[in-house]
């Protein structure tokens, strides 16, 4: 059993962007459909399929990507994790915030959907920093 706390729903902001786009306002498709190649690749390999069609191009190629952030994650903060992984992390960490982004693989629409906090409230020390090739 896991619980999500401090849930922030970004659907109002999302709707505002889409409304401006539909009305042909200042927001152009180039402004909102700007997922970079890294994000598109991540969506393809790690994204979790969304049953709803893309709000921009109406194709059913929408994926959710979840990024996790937290001091306890150390250098691993900001990584992409699946819902299942976040579910088990909820028992291993005190406080982690996850940000869920929807990404369309067809038109490159991307927008923050929601964020939430998981964890058992008991702070852990961040992992010891691993040496990586970038350090050399
Ligand atoms: Zn799309």
Instruction: Give, for all 136 residues of the chain, the pLDDT tens digit.
Output: 467 889 999 999 999 999 998 888 767 777 788 999 999 999 999 999 999 999 999 999 999 999 999 999 999 999 999 999 999 999 999 999 999 999 999 999 999 999 999 999 999 988 887 777 666 5
Query: What CA–CA distance (Å, rounded) separates 32 from 20?
Result: 11
Residue 125 CA to ligand 1 centre (angstroms)? 41
Q: Collapsing DSSP states into helix, strand and coil, what is residue 77?
A: coil
User: Do 135 and 58 form a contact (C-beta atoms < 8 A)?
Assistant: no
Residue 4 CA to ligand 1 centre (angstroms)? 28
Q: Output the pTM of the full model.
A: 0.87
- Which residues neighbour 73 within 8 Å (Cβ) at sequence distance 6 or greater? 79, 93, 96, 126, 127
49: number of CA atoms within 13 Å, CB side? 4
Residue 61 CA to ligand 1 centre (angstroms)? 7
Where are the domains positioned within the chain?
5-125
């Amino acid at each position: 059993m896991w619980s999500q706390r401090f849930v922030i729903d970004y659907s109002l902001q999302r709707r505002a962007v889409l409304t401006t786009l539909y009305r042909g306002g200042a927001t152009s498709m180039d402004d909102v459909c700007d997922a970079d190649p890294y994000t598109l690749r991540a969506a393809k390999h790690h994204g979790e399929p969304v049953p709803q069609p893309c709000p921009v191009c109406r194709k059913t190629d929408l994926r959710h990507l979840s990024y996790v952030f937290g001091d306890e994650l150390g250098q691993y903060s900001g990584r992409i994790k699946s819902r299942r992984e976040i579910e088990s992390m909820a028992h291993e960490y005190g406080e982690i915030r996850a940000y869920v982004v929807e990404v369309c693989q067809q038109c490159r629409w991307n927008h923050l959907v929601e964020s939430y906090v998981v964890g058992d409230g008991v702070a852990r020390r961040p992992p010891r920093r691993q040496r990586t090739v970038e350090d050399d």
